[in-house]
Amino acid sequence: MATPHNAANMGDIAETILLPGDPLRAKVIAETYLEDAKQFNSVRNMFGYTGTYKGKNVSVMGTGMGIPSIGIYSHELIHFYGVKNLIRVGSCGACQEDVKVGDVIMAQGACTNSSYAHQYQLPGTMCAIADYGLLKAAQEIAEEKSVPWHVGNILSSDTFYTETAEWKLWAKMGVLGIEMESFALYCEAARAGVKALGIFTVSDSMITGEETTAEQRQNDFKQMMEIALETALRV
Ligand code: HPA
């Protein structure tokens, strides 16, 4: 049965899904890496596809930007379509000196300035973490491929443009990078007892102001995708 945001039927989506923010990225991933990819969604142009990677059923779908958007899509994927392994593939801004543009970050945990977890009425602070099995697999693959990698905390921010340099306070707590979605993804997965991981290429540095060129972005994207797809095979 379709949801308000997803036209797929139960069974159309694989248990393992890759989640880029940009739906056009999902299309490129399906066309580049998946065999026999079939589109299951175009509602709001949030394209989703299912195909096979090295013989395994894998889906890919855009999430949009920000916590509310990924919260909706991941919730529906888990609760209406039976998805069990959700791997976000995105970009982030680095906020530590030793995290360079082009490096890969695997988010062991996600901090946030969002109120997303308030819905759970926890008597304290939710520590949103990746699934250890997915994290371990991704880290091992990055190592095997000699991709410069970091594992640690990130910030899922509600704001891209900020009035103050809030990132500096998070950086003091060891946060490696900033993006806008993983906290909600990790909460949704935790609440449902399924697995999630966020993998990122560093697209810019808050410290140096450096940004990737279009060409570098393409290459970094390829590295991250190979890590994510090989991780999908190991779940
Ligand atoms: N902030 C939030 N999200 C991002 C950034 C950033 O600096 N870079 C890439 N995604």
Task: Give the model confidence (pLDDT) of 62-114 as tens digits.
Answer: 999 999 999 999 999 999 999 999 999 999 999 999 999 999 999 999 999 99
**Nearest 10 degrees: Cα torsion 205, 23, 46, 37:** -140
Give distance in angstroms: CA of 9 to centre of ligand 1: 33
* pLDDT above 80 for 204: yes
Atom of ligand 1 nearest to the CA of 204: 8
In angstroms, the CA 56 to CA 234 distance is: 10
Going through the chain in order, the beta strands assigned E by DSSP cover 16-20, 35-41, 48-53, 56-61, 85-94, 104-112, 128-129, 149-156, 177-179, 195-205
DSSP one-letter code for 114 = S
Phi-psi label, residue 32: left if phi above 0, alpha if psi -120 to 50, beta otherwise = alpha
Mean pLDDT of all residues belonging to the chain: 97
Average pLDDT over residues 113-122: 98
Q: Provide the pLDDT for residue 1.
A: 76
In angstroms, the CA 49 to CA 63 distance is: 13
* pLDDT above 80 for 232: yes
Residue nearest to atom 9 of ligand 1 (CA): 92
**Domains of the chain in sequence order:** 16-233 (3.40.50.1580)
3-state secondary structure of 109: strand
Contact between residue 196 and residue 130 where contact means Cβ atoms under 8 Å apart? yes
Give distance in angstroms: CA of 139 to centre of ligand 1: 22
Contact between residue 18 and residue 199 where contact means Cβ atoms under 8 Å apart? no
Residue nearest to atom 10 of ligand 1 (CA): 92
Catalytic residue set:
204
Give distance in angstroms: CA of 204 to centre of ligand 1: 8
Q: Provide the pLDDT for residue 218.
A: 85
Residue nearest to atom 2 of ligand 1 (CA): 179
CB-based pocket (< 6 A), ligand 1: 91-93, 157, 160, 178-180, 203-204
Residue nearest to atom 3 of ligand 1 (CA): 179
3-state secondary structure of 153: strand
Q: What is the pTM of this model?
A: 0.97
Q: What is the pLDDT of residues 127-180, one digit of tens each?
A: 999 999 999 999 999 999 999 999 999 999 999 999 999 999 999 999 999 999
Q: What is the pLDDT of residues 63-73, one digit of tens each?
A: 999 999 999 99
Atom of ligand 1 nearest to the CA of 206: 7
Give distance in angstroms: CA of 12 to centre of ligand 1: 32
Q: Provide the pLDDT for residue 217.
A: 87
Nearest partner of 152 among 180, 122, 117, 110, judged by Cα: 110
Give distance in angstroms: CA of 76 to centre of ligand 1: 25
pLDDT band per the 50, 70, 90 thresholds, residue 214:
confident
In angstroms, the CA 89 to CA 56 distance is: 19
Of 105, 181, 203, the residue with max ligand 1 atoms within 8 A of its CB, to mutate for a pocket test, comes to 203
In angstroms, the CA 4 to CA 126 distance is: 28
